[in-house]
């Protein structure tokens, strides 16, 4: 029962962080070659073939990946499902509100992609340190999950804007990838160290069971045998 409560608390914590991170905005850098500037962008350097500047982004992606890497695969997937349902029933927890009408927003594909992304990352990664002794699988799983989120989200958005998915990815996804991959890799390394410490600590806390030796003398053993008889 205690384990169930702890898991539900972890799920509730990440669900709360997921909602809050949607509304925490930061200015993030972007770099683009032969592509238009991102919406709400502040250009730093522009030319006929190269664009550089900053744009507004939130912390939702980092919280999503932290949830996937720290929680078990079923709990992480369930967290994303609950988040999607709460928004679709009308709670204003999405970037532009909530409700079924939000399905007509171009970013809805990114929200839906969080569910298969959590499941996909769980298949790629086993967090036990004996199975994952090096941080490489954490980095690979984070990058591949990010790619999956962008591909599924870009397909939905491309249909909305009547664009070819590859064209949408080149114009709006690729400029964001450098900082996203950098932050995700740093976070994946930190979570790898935390999981490694946590599992090793739990393993040390479980002392192997030892058989109790019979230290009774011969007379005591004879009395014990007589009592049993």
Structural domains of the chain in order of their starting residue, each with its CATH number: 59-201 (1.10.1760.20)
Cβ-count burial of 227 within 10 angstroms (0-12 exposed, 13-18 middle, 19+ buried)? Answer: exposed
Sheet holding 42-46, edge to edge: 25-33, 50-58, 42-46
What tokens were used for 26? 């930061």
Mean pLDDT, residues 88-104 taken together: 92
Asked if residue 69 lies in contact with residue 93, where contact means CB atoms within 8 angstroms, the answer is no
Which residue, 161, 164, 39, is CA-closest to 106?
Answer: 161
Instruction: Quickly count: other Cβ atoms within 10 Å of residue 147's Cβ.
Output: 14
- Please state whether the predicted TM-score (pTM) of the whole model is above 0.85: no
Per the prediction, the chain carries an average pLDDT of: 83
The per-residue pLDDT for 32 is 78
pLDDT single digits (tens) 11-40: 999 999 999 999 998 888 888 776 666 777
pLDDT-derived band at 210 (thresholds 50, 70, 90) equals very low
pLDDT single digits (tens) 111-142: 999 999 999 998 888 655 456 677 888 899 99
Which residue, 146, 176, 182, 184, is CA-closest to 31?
Answer: 176
């Amino acid at each position: 029962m205690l384990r169930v409560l702890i898991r539900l608390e972890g799920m509730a914590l990440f669900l709360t962080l997921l909602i809050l991170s949607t509304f925490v905005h930061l200015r993030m850098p972007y770099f683009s070659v032969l592509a238009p500037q991102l919406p709400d962008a502040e250009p730093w350097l522009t030319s006929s073939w190269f664009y550089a500047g900053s744009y507004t982004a939130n912390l939702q992606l980092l919280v999503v990946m932290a949830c996937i890497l720290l929680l078990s695969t079923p709990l992480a997937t369930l967290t994303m499902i609950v988040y999607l349902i709460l928004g679709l029933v009308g709670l204003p927890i999405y970037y532009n509100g909530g409700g079924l009408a939000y399905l007509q927003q171009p970013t809805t594909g990114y929200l839906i992609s969080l569910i298969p992304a959590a499941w996909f990352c769980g298949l790629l990664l086993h967090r036990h340190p004996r199975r994952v002794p090096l941080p490489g699988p954490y980095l690979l799983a984070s990058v591949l999950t990010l790619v999956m989120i962008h591909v599924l989200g870009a397909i939905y958005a491309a249909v909305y804007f009547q664009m070819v998915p590859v064209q949408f990815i080149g114009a709006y996804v690729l400029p964001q990838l450098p900082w996203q991959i950098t932050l995700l890799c740093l976070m994946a390394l930190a979570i790898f160290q935390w999981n490694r410490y946590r599992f090793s600590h739990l393993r040390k806390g479980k002392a192997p069971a030892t058989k109790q030796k019979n230290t009774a003398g011969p007379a005591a053993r004879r009395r014990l045998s007589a009592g049993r008889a």
